[in-house]
Structure formats: structure tokens, C-alpha cells
């Protein structure tokens, strides 16, 4: 039996090795999931930024200035 001892750890050594492996696996999984989530958040933020800055104010103001005023607005402005 002593010849196999190096290849087959006793119960306490096996539990310690398994615990260490499980801790390492949990840590790596958490890091991976965090990286994925951060990438998703970056993509969402980039999409919101693109949508929010679709038209600069100078373009929007000229569009508003070109629109005809209705009677209610003309009455309010001249009053």
C-alpha cells in the first residue's frame, strides 16, 4: 500500500484539495460572469448614448424654426 500513497491522497488531503479546487472554480466563474455583465452594460450604455445624441441642437432648432405656427401659438406670441 505505501507505493500507492503518492497517487491516492488520504481523506483529509482529498477534502482539502477538493475544497481548494472548488474555491478556485467559484472565483474564476465569478470573474467570468462579472466580465460578461460589464461588457453588456457597456454595450447598453453605448446604445443609449447613440440614441440620445441623434440630432444636435442646431439641427433641431432650425427644424423648429421652419415649422409654421398654428393660430393659437400666433395669438399667444402677439398678445
Confidence at residue 60, expressed as pLDDT on a 0 to 100 scale:
76
Q: What is the pLDDT of residues 42-77, one digit of tens each?
A: 999 988 877 666 667 777 788 878 888 777 766 665
Which band of pLDDT confidence, cut at 50, 70 and 90, is reported for residue 1? very low
Cell of 2: 505505501
The alpha carbon dihedral of 27, 32, 35, 40 has a sign of negative
Annotated domain spans of the chain: 2-78
Determine the Cα–Cα distance for residues 40 and 46; give it in Å rounded to an integer. 10
The whole model's pTM is what?
0.49
Cell of 44: 447598453
pLDDT of 3 over the 60 cut? no
CB 77 within 8 A of CB 69: yes
Q: What are phi and psi of 55, to 5 degrees?
A: -135, 125
Amino acid at each position: 500500500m505505501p507505493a500507492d500513497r503518492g497517487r491516492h491522497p488520504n481523506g483529509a488531503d482529498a477534502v482539502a484539495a477538493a475544497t481548494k479546487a472548488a474555491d478556485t472554480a467559484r472565483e474564476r466563474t465569478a470573474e467570468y460572469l462579472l466580465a460578461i455583465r460589464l461588457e453588456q452594460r457597456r454595450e447598453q450604455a453605448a446604445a443609449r448614448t447613440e440614441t440620445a445624441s441623434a440630432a444636435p441642437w442646431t439641427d433641431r432648432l432650425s427644424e423648429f424654426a421652419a415649422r409654421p405656427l398654428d393660430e393659437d401659438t400666433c395669438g399667444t406670441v402677439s398678445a
